[in-house]
């Protein structure tokens, strides 16, 4: 059993970006859109919310049988490139720890989880034929076309056939090399009964693929810019969960998809600091602090809900609470659709700033 298996489940999610063929005008226009979908009312976790495709790790994602498939569909050089995915210089949250020698390295299996879920939920299959497998020159992935998507999607989603069987029969190597580790989030300890540690990956396409919504999990899907999704959230037209809102906010400062791909490739071995928000109640807001904030618990065990501190500042406004510390990394919630970020620390792991102060990108 994994170390924290009784406290939370592991999952992976995929941020899918695609170049927008419609010419945008204006100084702050985007040349790409992000694919998200609305969960159905019957979904067990966060029904009706807007999310990136993703879901819980399945045993099939960790099977060592994948190694044989990688060798057959990608060749020796492909295996060597996959090995590079395991060489991360930065911090590694719990989700990346391998609990057994009988499973794939987590840096590989979690990518498989993200790709499998994207196919099950939205029918988009990222992969290459043997001749084109490997790290692409431009850093972009590829969406497979011209196969019976609906039949295969239902079969894999319902567990009639595995994701590996799909790849084997189509002679497609799943594209693990051109998706990039983006961040890792853990549901706050206050939600004891339903917690997930989730790694977010980013993948980019040069054109928007056809989407096939899985009817039991997907109410509708949306292609929109980061700022468009954030504005729709603010206008209460949709609801973004905190991790999605945070990641779209820092992504919103980059308008060029080519710059995003260059950045993601350059940062790919920098690792991820685990973000597990800790809540404080103020008189006018609920405040969630993140690592680097002076009020974030030292040596946090990620299990303790800190109920004793929850209302410690209940008689202070969020501004008064904020003024008591030097280092800030927090989000102040004044309703489900009203969030304000405060951060004056440098981003962890060479990542993007939540406020768009990304001078380090000029070096790419």
Q: What is the mean pLDDT of residues 98-113?
A: 94
Q: Does residue 230 lie in a domain region?
A: yes
Distance CA 176, CA 168 (A): 15
**pLDDT at residue 127 tops 90:** yes
Q: Return the pLDDT at 47.
A: 64
Cβ 114 vs Cβ 216: under 8 Å: no
- 330 and 310 co-located in one domain: yes
CATH number of the domain that residue 92 is part of: 3.90.79.10
Q: Does residue 253 lie in a domain region?
A: yes
Indicate the residue among 244, 266, 288 that finishes a domain.
266
**pLDDT at residue 177 tops 90:** yes
Q: What is the mean pLDDT of residues 230-242?
A: 95
- 123 and 231 co-located in one domain: yes
**pLDDT at residue 114 tops 60:** yes
Cβ 156 vs Cβ 163: under 8 Å: yes
Q: Does residue 4 lie in a domain region?
A: no
Tell me the average pLDDT of the chain. 92
Q: Are strands 9-19 and 196-205 parallel, antiparallel or unpaired?
A: parallel
Q: Does residue 1 lie in a domain region?
A: no
Least reliable range by pLDDT among 26-30, 82-86, 90-94, 307-311: 307-311
Q: Return the pLDDT at 192.
A: 76
**Overall domain count for the chain:** 2
- 91 and 178 co-located in one domain: yes
Q: What is the mean pLDDT of residues 182-190?
A: 95
**pLDDT at residue 8 tops 80:** yes
- 285 and 257 co-located in one domain: no
**pLDDT at residue 21 tops 90:** no
- 226 and 300 co-located in one domain: no
26 falls in which pLDDT band (50, 70, 90)? low
- 17 and 161 co-located in one domain: yes
Q: Return the pLDDT at 40.
A: 79
More confident residue, 21 or 122: 122
The CB-based long-range contact list for 346-349 (8 Å cut-off, 24+ gap) reads 348/91, 348/272, 348/273, 348/291, 348/292, 349/90, 349/91, 349/267, 349/270, 349/271, 349/272, 349/273
Indicate the residue among 210, 231, 266 that finishes a domain.
266
- 207 and 310 co-located in one domain: no
More confident residue, 137 or 102: 102
More confident residue, 310 or 153: 153
Tokens (6 digits) for 181: 């580790």
Calculated CA dihedral for residues 92, 86, 182, 70, nearest 10 degrees? -140
- 288 and 344 co-located in one domain: yes
Model's pTM, two decimal places? 0.94
Q: What is the mean pLDDT of residues 103-121?
A: 97
> What's the domain range around 311?
277-363
């Amino acid at each position: 059993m994994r170390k924290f298996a009784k406290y939370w489940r592991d999952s992976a999610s995929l941020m899918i970006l695609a170049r927008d063929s419609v010419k945008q005008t204006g100084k702050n226009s985007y040349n790409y859109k992000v694919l998200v979908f609305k969960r159905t009312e019957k979904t067990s976790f966060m029904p009706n919310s807007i999310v990136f495709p993703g879901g819980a790790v399945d045993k099939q994602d960790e099977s060592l049988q994948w190694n044989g498939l990688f060798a057959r569909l990608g060749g020796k050089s492909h295996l060597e490139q996959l090995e590079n995915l395991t060489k991360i210089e930065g911090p590694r949250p719990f989700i990346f720890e391998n609990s057994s020698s009988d499973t794939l390295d987590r840096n590989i299996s979690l990518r498989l989880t993200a790709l499998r879920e994207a196919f099950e939920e939205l029918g988009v299959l990222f992969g290459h034929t043997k001749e084109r497998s490997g790290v692409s020159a431009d850093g972009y992935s590829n969406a497979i076309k011209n196969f019976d998507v609906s039949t295969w999607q239902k079969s894999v989603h319902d567990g009639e056939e595995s994701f590996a069987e799909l790849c084997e029969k189509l002679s497609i190597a799943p594209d693990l090399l051109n998706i990039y580790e983006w961040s890792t989030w853990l549901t706050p300890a206050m939600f004891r009964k339903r917690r997930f540690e989730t790694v977010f990956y980013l993948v980019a396409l040069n054109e928007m693929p056809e989407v096939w919504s899985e009817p039991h999990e997907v109410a509708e899907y949306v292609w929109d810019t980061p700022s468009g999704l954030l504005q729709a959230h603010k206008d209460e037209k949709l609801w973004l969960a905190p991790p999605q809102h945070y990641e779209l906010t820092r992504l919103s400062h980059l308008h060029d998809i080519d710059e995003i791909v260059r950045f993601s490739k350059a940062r790919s071995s920098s690792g991820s600091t685990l973000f597990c928000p800790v809540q404080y109640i103020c008189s006018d807001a609920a405040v969630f602090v993140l690592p680097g904030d002076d009020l974030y618990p030292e040596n946090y065990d990620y299990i303790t809900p800190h109920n004793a501190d929850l209302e410690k500042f209940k008689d202070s406004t969020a501004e008064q609470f904020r003024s008591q510390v030097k280092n800030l990394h927090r989000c102040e919630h004044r309703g489900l659709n009203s969030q304000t970020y405060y951060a004056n620390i440098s981003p962890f792991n060479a990542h993007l700033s939540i406020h768009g102060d990304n001078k380090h990108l000029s070096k790419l």
